[in-house]
Every structure is written in structure tokens, then in C-alpha cells.
Amino acid sequence: MWRLGGLVATILLANVCAGLPSVTLHKRPISVEQLQASQQALQLSAANGLLGAGEDIPLLDYLDAQYYGEIGLGSPVQTFQVIFDTGSSNLWVPSSECSYFQLACDLHNKYDASESTTYKRNGTKFAIQYGSGSLSGFFSEDELTLGTLQAKHQSFAEATEEPGLTFVAAKFDGILGLGFPNIAIGGAVPPFQNLVEQGVVKEPVFSFWLNRNEPGAEGGELVLGGVDPSHFKGTHTWANVTRPAYWQFDLDAIKVPGTIGVCQGGCQAIADSGTSLIVGPSVEIANINKAIGAKGVLPAECRELVKEYVPQILKALAILPADQVCAAIGLCDQTGSQQARSVSRKLQALAGSDTPVQDSPLCPFCTAAVSYVKIAVASQETQDQIEEQLEAACDTLGFLASSQAIVDCDQIPTMPDVAFTISGKEFSLTPEQYVLKVGAMGEEQCISGFLGMDIPKPAGPLWILGDIFISSYHTVFDLGNKRVGFAEAA
């Protein structure tokens, strides 16, 4: 089964809020002024019906793209670093029974059932497809440890196959899903649901604070059973969950100067801690990227691909249905030329494994090209005319809307804000907040935080507000009242 939760980012540890079990990210030193502000925030959170205490789980931050923290399984405890993912509902870690050639297993911590006195065998097969990676294995049962909290009889998956490079490059070992039970594979009870049902947490609430752009500082914090009042300002704005699968809610509007037709009349969105960027329908994301001055990452390579593949597309269309052409010439399964594979690898690397992307970043290019070529041939355009039109299209975001886009780092101060309206309140992101800065080859590259992906029905179309949004707005997931709350992060 396919899940929205992205993969590939990073997380660290930090400190504990008094009386709350927590997963810790690296924290900043707290001043007297911050302590006073925390007391005020505590009063505000009480007024909002939030518990100002819980288990604090420190998170680690890798390149502002992967946020992860530590859990334990078994007795004695075996520790793992996991992504806490609100876009899926299963817990899995690598298994000691991984096959010999599974490199991802070899590079990460593995659960060994023979070393746990509380292990219970299940053995039911397990398989899951995320936005940027898949895996399979089997279910087991054991005790789960989260900070000072412990859930008994936790069903989880031991991953024995983790194909591809997604999990090889990941800083984390596994994923702990925080979505609703009805998207849990195999009927497994999600870990937080288990904590609630066993009375381990005081309130059916958890919250995220994610830190950015502070090397060496605390990466973030997940609080189980409440909130940390030192990490938000004012009060939370609440949005009711419209479909209790993902943490899905009504998004009233998205405002970007110079664009039209983006989330027109409102749209559906999810708050997803397992996705690095902000994801939306390809055409609408293309409009946003154009408005902020972002460009497709590989226009030059795109033009080269046009010259290489248009002749092949023309020949293939003469003997094959249009929907079989891309597979036949190898662009959709990455079995094409060395150049095609190289471009695909570059796009995947820039997109990041915690971001949901299509199986091959060249599929959108090929599909669009075939559609145009078919029409152009019917209109009796020459091969030269077709290539000229497609090369011009390479300089727009049309064919690369589902790949990453980059911006000129020097232009960040002049770029527009992007505002999301939730429950009547605007939540704005400045360019400094929605641009991801990544070092490459000794130079800094600035990547747009907006990524195109067309999520099919019945789940889609959807907007995914990932870590870029959550790092700016402290986010509370209220399971008891089925609502999501946002407040300015502190």
C-alpha cells in the first residue's frame, strides 16, 4: 500500500519538559525572558484546552530535511532512530533477518527478536509504499519505549527488504507512523493510539516543534501527551480533521502575488511531519515557483534530452500507442541512455528522499513530450519545429513541475511571501522560511520549498504541509478532538 509520508531528512536529541515524556531535538539555551514567556504561553495553552506537559522526545535535524528521534524496542531495550511521521500509521525498523544483499539493513540498526524476552511472534507479511521508497517484511510484537513511556504489545514490522537507495542514504533506521488507525497496514494499532488506549499519556495530544538554520542547536522536539509552551507564541488556530486517515483539513486559500488558480475556492491539505517540503498539484506548484522566481533545475539537460529523444518518440509513435512510448524508450523506468539515468539521479538527489516524488523524475517530461509530439504530427509540423517548441518549453517549469526547482540565493530578500489561510487566519511564510539552503561542491544552493506531485483519487488532490511549514508554525495533533492546531513557533 502507498502512504503519503515522505522519507529522508534528519533529527537529533534535546531536553525534557518537566513532567512530560518527550523525544528531544537539540535545544537552545533558555534565558530568563524565555522562561517568563513560557509561563505566559502555559496560561494561554491552558485556555485553549491543551495540557502544558507531556513526554518530550528530542529530535535530530539533518539539513533541515530529516527530523528523527530515538525509540526502543524489546527487553532489554534495542534502540533505533526513527522519523515520527504523521503521514503514515505503521511502525517499522530493519530486521536482523534481512537478506545478505540488503545494503540499507547493513548500514542501520537491526531488531533481533532472539535478544528480547518480551518478543511475541506474529509473522504476517508486511509491505508498504511511501512517496519516495518502499519496503517489505513481516509483523512482530514487543514492548515499545518512548522516553520514559512504554507501550506493551506493540505491533510493528521487521523490514527484510528495503530496495533502492532511499533507505541506504537515510540517517534514520525506521519510521514510526502517527496517522489514524484506518490507514495502518495489517490492522496494526498505531503506537500513539496504543499509548492512549493503555492510559500511558495524560491527554490524547502530541505536538511538534522543528528547529531550522541553527547548526549545532537542538533539532526539534516531539511532545507526547501535551505541548511545550516554550516553543510557541500566542494561541493555536484549530482546523477540524475532515478525513481521519491522514491529518487532513480544509485549507481556505493560498496567496502568492502574481498567481491565479492556486487552491481556488479552497482545497484539502494534510500536516505531514514525514515530508520535508510543501507539496501540491504540479500545475499549481509550477505557478507558485514561477511567481517566486524559481526555475527547473535542469533546463540545459532537458534541451539535450529533446534532441536525443524526439527522433525516438517520433519513430515509436508510428508503431506504438502513445501510453506505451515512454516505457519503450526507457524514460519512465530509468533504463534509457546513460545521460537519462544521470539526469534522473541528479533530480532524485536534489528532491531528497524524505520528499514524495514520482518513481522516475523523467516520466513527466516524457509524458508531456509525447502528448505534444502526437498533436504536432497531426498538425504536420516538422521534426525541427517540434524540437524547437519543446526546447523552449524546457525553460519553463512545465515538464519539470514534479522535480525540484532552484532560486537565486541573492534574490531571496526580494522574493514574495506565501500565505496559507487556515480557519480564517493567514499563516505566512517568508522566502527565508520556504527556501531550503543546501551546500553542494563547496557552494550553497537555494532550493524552492514547493514541490509538484499529483496525488491520485481517492486520496488526492492534496496539499502537503511538510517540515518547512511545521518548522515555522508549532503544530499540535489533537487525537481526542480530531483537530490540528497551528501557532507561531518560538
Per-residue cell: 329: 524508450
Q: d(Cα 142, Cα 134) in Å, to the nearest integer?
A: 23
CA 374/CA 392 separation, integer angstroms: 17
Q: Which of 287, 251, 292, 259 is nearest to 464 (CA)?
A: 251
- Cell triple for residue 427? 499563516
Q: Which residues of 55-79 are buried (b: 16+ CB within 10 A; e: fewer)?
A: bbbbbbbbbbbbbbbbbbbbeebbe
Catalytic residue among 56, 61, 64, 85: 85
Q: Which residues of 348-359 are buried (b: 16+ CB within 10 A; e: fewer)?
A: bebbbbbbbbbe
Residues in the chain: 490
Neighbours of 298 (CB within 10 A): 24
272 an active-site residue?
A: yes
- Peptide bond before 461: cis, by omega within 30 degrees of 0? yes
467 within 8 A of 210, measured Cβ to Cβ: yes
- Catalytic choice (272, 354, 454, 467): 272
Catalytic residue status for 417: no
What is the set of active-site residues?
Answer: 85, 272
